[in-house]
Amino acid sequence: MENTPGVLRYAAFSTTPNGGNPAGLVLDAGHLDDAGMLAVAAAVGYAETAFVTEQGVDGDPRRSRVRYFSPIAEVPFCGHATIALAVALSERDGAGSFTFDTPPDRSQRNRKGCGRRRPAPDASFPNTRSAADRPDRDRPARRRAVRGVQPGQRRRMRPAVAQRR
């Protein structure tokens, strides 16, 4: 394949390179068409690969357009690849907020410091499911009851981290 971009390999939701959810990342995919991104994702072989198709959207150096491909098709969004992308960009560009324009929604990612260890990303993700995908409106209440979480109460989750593979 001509003009093959550099692919980074990260593991999201892990403190070690061998754990977590692996994701491929291409930080400069502006020259790739759909077929090219699909070919790269297939060569990487992970569930998803994130492609930064445009950097500096609307003149903001920390805002990028991002697309996601599995080895067989484009996917609308991938949380673990987005976490890994935020980590890779913050390693390259420094900690702070990043905005990713994704096909279904505009999302914000922020890297916050967490003591002396590597900074952990703090992310807000778009809702990629429609009401039609969730016909059982009582399901969230049942999930909270099973987990022991009362209505209006939030569970504290461990920070999502990623490691270069």
**Residues 6 or more apart from 158 whose CB is under 8 A from it?**
none
Q: Which CATH class is domain 8-164?
A: alpha beta
Q: In this structure, how many other beta carbons lie within 10 angstroms of the beta carbon of residue 63? A: 18
- Spell out the domain ranges in the chain: 8-164
Q: What is the pLDDT of residue 138?
A: 54
Tens digit of pLDDT for each residue in 47-86?
Answer: 999 999 999 999 999 999 999 999 999 998 998 999 999 9
Query: What residues in the chain have per-residue pLDDT under 50?
Result: 1-2, 105-121, 125-134, 142-150, 153-159
50 forms beta bridges with 25, 68
Of 2, 48, 54, 74, which one is the catalytic site residue?
Answer: 48
SS3 101: strand
CB 165 within 8 A of CB 24: no
CB 121 within 8 A of CB 95: no
* CB-side neighbour CA atoms (13 Å) of 61: 6
Q: CA Rg, the chain, in Å?
A: 17
Of 97, 105, 109, 102, residue with least CA distance to 130? 105
Q: What is the pLDDT of residue 140?
A: 55
Q: What is the pLDDT of residue 164?
A: 76
Active site residue 91: no
Q: What is the pLDDT of residue 128?
A: 43
pTM for the model stands at 0.67
CB 119 within 8 A of CB 159: no
DSSP 118: -
DSSP 132: G
